């Protein structure tokens, strides 16, 4: 069983991923942390020092490595499905679940999050809302290729497992 959780920043991929992995008794991998460990740099450092393009290449490499794992729940970075053939690779190598959460909830969570996210750093509430709207329009083309979709922010893991099993 390999599960990829995909969706916008703040949609709850890591929180749900941990719960799912716990329930299934298999490891959980947060892709951003995986990239940070392999590069000895944080994601914000990679963006600042090497640029977004370099980050996307590292992300693609990480995904290829992780796609070889069996029995794992992977929380992908919000942009991961939208570059290269990443979405196709995920769909071929595991089950993909899109956490399609209301943009208003995303904006609220991102405003209150302590995680540093280079793409939205320093944005006001209004700027953040229009940034989410704009990028979601483009990203939905990729997110919607997921095999399963969850729209309820706090759907119990048991129900999610029922949907995908």
* Nearest distance, CB of residue 90 and ligand S3P, angstroms: 14
* Complex with ligand S3P: residue 22 or 115, whichever CB lies closer: 115
Residues 63-82 that bind ligand S3P (CB under 6 A): 77-79
> What would the DSSP string read from start to end of the chain?
-EEEEE-STTS-HHHHHHHHHHHHT--EEEHHHHHHHHHTS-HHHHHHHH-HHHHHHHHHHHHHHHTT-SSEEEE--TTGGGSTTHHHHHHHHSEEEEE---HHHHHHHHHH--S--GGGTT--HHHHHHHHHHHHHHHHHHHTTSSEEE--TT--HHHHHHHH-
Q: Which residues ranging from 33 to 62 are in contact with ligand S3P (CB under 6 A)? A: 43
| String marking each residue 84-123 x if it binds ligand S3P according to CB under 6 A | ---------------------------------xxx----
With contacts defined by CB under 6 A, how many residues of the chain interact with ligand S3P?
A: 9
Is 17 a binding residue for ligand S3P by CB under 6 A? The answer is: no
């Amino acid at each position: 069983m390999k599960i990829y959780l995909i969706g916008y920043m703040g949609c709850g991929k890591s929180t749900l991923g941990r719960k799912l992995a716990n329930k299934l008794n298999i490891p959980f991998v947060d892709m951003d942390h995986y990239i940070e460990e392999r590069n000895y740099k944080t994601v914000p450092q990679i963006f600042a020092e090497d640029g977004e393009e370099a980050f996307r290449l590292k992300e693609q490499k990480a995904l290829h490595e992780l796609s070889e794992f069996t029995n794992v729940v992977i929380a992908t970075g919000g942009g991961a499905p939208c570059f290269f053939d990443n979405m196709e690779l995920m769909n071929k190598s595991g089950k993909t679940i899109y956490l399609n959460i209301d943009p208003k909830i995303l904006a609220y969570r991102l405003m209150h999050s302590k995680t540093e996210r280079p793409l939205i750093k320093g944005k006001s509430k209004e700027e953040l809302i229009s940034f989410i709207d704009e990028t979601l329009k483009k990203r939905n083309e990729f997110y919607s290729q997921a095999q399963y979709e969850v729209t309820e922010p706090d759907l119990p893991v048991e129900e999610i497992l029922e949907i995908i099993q």
